[in-house]
Amino acid sequence: DAVLTQSPLSLSVTLGQPASISCRSSQSLLYSNGNIHLSWFHQRPGQSPRRLIYEVSKRNSGVPDRFSGSGSGTDFTLKISKVEAEDVGIYYCMQGTFWPNTFGGGTRLEIK
């Protein structure tokens, strides 16, 4: 299975400041069709996970442009340009290139 390792485990950020989360895969996530099926999810307390980013850098409909994804091969990053209060919660990366799909362990973001 493709193991996804996220860092840091937790993040404390001042409102308006940037945040960055890393996701490293145990193997390249490049699919045979040239796509990389790496997504980012955000889960607020008491809610279901919500996808923010898919295929490394494409934002889901309705996702603010302060969220951006980048990376290739085995190393990926989610960036929040200016953290807002509603951004608290847990962030997960997920790969869909290989079965079974797998998730990173999560990064908890809190407001400082």
Partner 1 sequence: EVQLVESGGGLVQPGGSLRLSCAVSGFNFSNYWMSWVRQTPEKRLEWVANINKDGSDTFYVDSVTGRFTISRDNAKNSLYLQMKAVSAEDTAIYYCVRPVSAYWGRGVLVTVSS
Binding site for partner 1 (CB under 8 A): 39, 41, 48-51, 54, 60, 90, 92, 94, 96, 99-103, 105-106
* Minimum distance, C-beta of residue 76 to partner 1, in the bound complex (Å): 17
Residue 44 vs 82, nearer CB to partner 1: 44
Residue 74 vs 91, nearer CB to partner 1: 91
Question: How many CA atoms within 13 Å lie on the side-chain side of 1?
Answer: 11
* Minimum distance, C-beta of residue 92 to partner 1, in the bound complex (Å): 6
* Minimum distance, C-beta of residue 20 to partner 1, in the bound complex (Å): 21
Please tell me what DSSP assigns to residue 47. S
Nearest to 59 by CA among 69, 49, 47: 69
Residue 51 vs 66, nearer CB to partner 1: 51
Nearest to 98 by CA among 32, 23, 51, 21: 32
Mind giving me the DSSP string for 20-31?
A: EEEEEESS--B-
Residue 32 vs 48, nearer CB to partner 1: 48
With H, G, I as helix, E, B as strand and everything else as coil, classify residue 70.
strand
* Minimum distance, C-beta of residue 106 to partner 1, in the bound complex (Å): 6
